[in-house]
A and B are shown apart, each in its own frame.
Chain A
């Protein structure tokens, strides 16, 4: 059986790793190399690395830096941040990324999804969707690291992305991000229920029980988390043991 994946997320801003709350109040955490090596040691299922200042700064991905990191990363790696062109996909895959995530470009350059899927295969294309609740039961997508409101809902964007050839959706609740108060289960359930590609839940995990909810109720195929692993004694392994004890298939 296909196992549930637990995926630590590393957020890179300007000069180093950060964590935030609601995509704000960014706080510096340890060095990237250190984090990659620790997770490698822990044999985590998969790692996500996002350069969240790239698009803001009008920068492309830092291929040289990512090359260095990927060299130390012997587990599946998804890289995102500042990806705007097919060449970016090519370079990232070349330097060691297994999957490439696009966020702002998925909204502003929908064709890129199809182009990338055609050239590299759907399985390399992850569309990263950041969403906020804007009113009762209504969600809207934000680009540019949560700064710009787009008048499209996450469900619609997810559907369109799948149709264009995206292989996976990384879905983040901006409101919940960094709060450790739990995922936005409604958001996950709505999006996961509307597509047939895997959906990765992100934003808000604080306890192992949150992972269970995301999978059981939200129907996520994988769960991404950052704060819970940086700042508590809970670990990806502990999470998997917890899930296993509840009858879920995980890799132990």
Chain B
């Protein structure tokens, strides 16, 4: 029963939290926007939303001492964890935006800026694009294999291990649009803004 699920949405000062909160509510679960360890401890699922810059985000996470809490819940206790957009990029080992920063290192890889192949490829990558699922996984159940989701970003996560890659999206070649490693999930797109498909994905996540 989704209504029994308490979902912690990490508040780290620079992100668009309200839409994620609203979306989780619409899914029938119970969202808490928080940065406190106690709340993270009680949650059945954790979401790290994302709008902002990598170095500023990591700094905020460290300042609020969230990094340790996350590592505790996610790595040690294996709570299902979803990073959205910047949240997915933060999963990486290294970020390249502005300065080189160490990420959460839940998924190994480097965050890089898009390199446009021609003038037709405008950066940031903004809009609806196909997410092509390359690997069986619980996030994309009951969703058509090449559905459109909403993206708005200039950077993407370059995964070191191809087994972590769940989906790719064509833009400036191809980039990784969704990842999974054990209980850690990431989507470069915004499921909370992707209407029917996005809500299905969130429900799938909450059912884990």
Contacts and interface: CB of A to CB of B under 8 A. Distances in A.
Please tell me whether chains A and B touch each other in their complex, using a CB distance cut-off of 8 A.
yes
A122 B86 CA distance: 12
6 contacts: A1-B130, A74-B195, A94-B18, A121-B153, A123-B154, A196-B116
Interface residues of A, number: 38
Contacts of A97: 16
Contacts of A121: 51-53, 86, 153-154
Interface in B96-152: 98, 116, 119, 122-130, 148, 150, 152
Choose among A95, A121, A168 the residue with the greatest number of B CB atoms under 10 Å from its CB.
A121
B74 to A, nearest CB: 24
Interface in A1-41: 1-5
Interface of B: 14-19, 22-23, 26, 51-53, 56, 86, 98, 116, 119, 122-130, 148, 150, 152-154, 170-171, 190, 192-193, 195-196, 199
B157 to A, nearest CB: 15
Nearest to A198: B122
Interface in A102-119: 118-119
A118 B195 CA distance: 29
B53 A3 contact: no
Contact of B52 (A96, A119, A196): A119
B116 A221 contact: no
Contacts of A71: 18, 22
Interface in A153-170: 167-168
**Chain B, interface SS category:** mixed
Contact of A2 (B26, B98, B129, B199): B129
A75 interface: yes
Given A74-B195, A96-B22, 8 more contacts: A3-B129, A74-B19, A96-B18, A98-B16, A98-B152, A98-B190, A123-B154, A221-B126
A181 B117 CA distance: 35
A94 B124 contact: no
A175 interface: no
Choose among A76, A94, A99, A122 the residue with the greatest number of B CB atoms under 10 Å from its CB.
A76
B193 A95 contact: no
A88 interface: no
A181 B22 CA distance: 39
For the complex of A and B, 10 pairs with smallest distance between CB atoms: A96-B18, A123-B124, A251-B128, A3-B128, A123-B152, A167-B124, A198-B122, A251-B148, A93-B16, A76-B193
Nearest to B15: A93
Contacts of B154: 121-123, 167
